[in-house]
């Protein structure tokens, strides 16, 4: 007696973890290595997505140039001009002059990233790095949620 069962399954895996980044000064900071070191699980994923979410409304996440420190300091200078402190029309000032601009910058830049995973690595371009953008003078530690999903 014999029989065969065919089952076509694409194995799908989900990993999720919350981490705390150490407090950083106001400005734009590269955190690519710190992120990658926290998620060895991506090595198992053949095709998938890394989702990074920051659980705050005064710090943001972007992908930008990963070599020149001038790009990060020029970003800080430009966003301070584009979203100035102490505008007379701000009513939300209870936590200081950096409070409302931090909320605005966060929504201009965004609070999540989605990055393709290919053959166990983040599929970033040669010049792309992950930035934490700290918009408060004393933002403290920041919480990130990583969600990794894909096909093994």
Q: Which residues bind a second copy (CB under 8 A)?
A: 5, 7-16, 18, 46-49, 51, 53-57, 62-65, 68, 70-71, 73-75, 77-78, 81-83, 87, 89-92, 94, 100, 103-104, 106-116, 118, 123-128, 143, 145, 147, 149-151
118: left (phi over 0), alpha (psi -120 to 50) or beta: beta
Assign 119 to helix, strand or coil: coil
Q: Which is nearer to a second copy, 34 or 118 (CB)?
A: 118
Q: How far is the CB of 81 from a second copy (least distance, A)?
A: 8
Please report how close the Cβ of residue 89 comes to a second copy at its closest, in angstroms: 5
State in angstroms the smallest separation of the CB of 34 from a second copy. 19
Query: How far, CA to CA in Å, does 28 sit from each of 10, 42, 66, 73, 79?
Result: 39, 25, 11, 7, 11
Q: Map tokens 């400005």 to a residue.
A: 27
């Amino acid at each position: 007696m014999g029989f065969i069962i065919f089952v076509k399954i694409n194995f799908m895996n989900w990993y999720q973890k919350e981490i705390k980044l150490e407090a950083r000064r106001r400005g734009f900071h590269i955190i690519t290595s710190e992120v990658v070191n926290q998620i060895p699980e991506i090595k198992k994923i053949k095709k998938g997505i890394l989702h990074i979410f920051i659980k705050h409304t005064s710090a943001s996440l972007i992908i930008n140039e990963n070599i020149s420190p001038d790009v990060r300091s020029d970003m800080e200078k430009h966003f301070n001009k584009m979203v100035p402190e102490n505008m007379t029309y701000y009513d939300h000032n209870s936590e200081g002059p950096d409070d409302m601009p931090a909320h605005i910058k966060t929504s201009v830049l965004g609070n999540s990233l989605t990055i393709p995973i290919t053959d166990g690595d983040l599929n970033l371009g040669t010049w792309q790095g992950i930035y934490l953008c700290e918009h408060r003078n004393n933002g403290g530690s920041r919480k990130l949620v990583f969600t990794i999903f894909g096909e093994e």
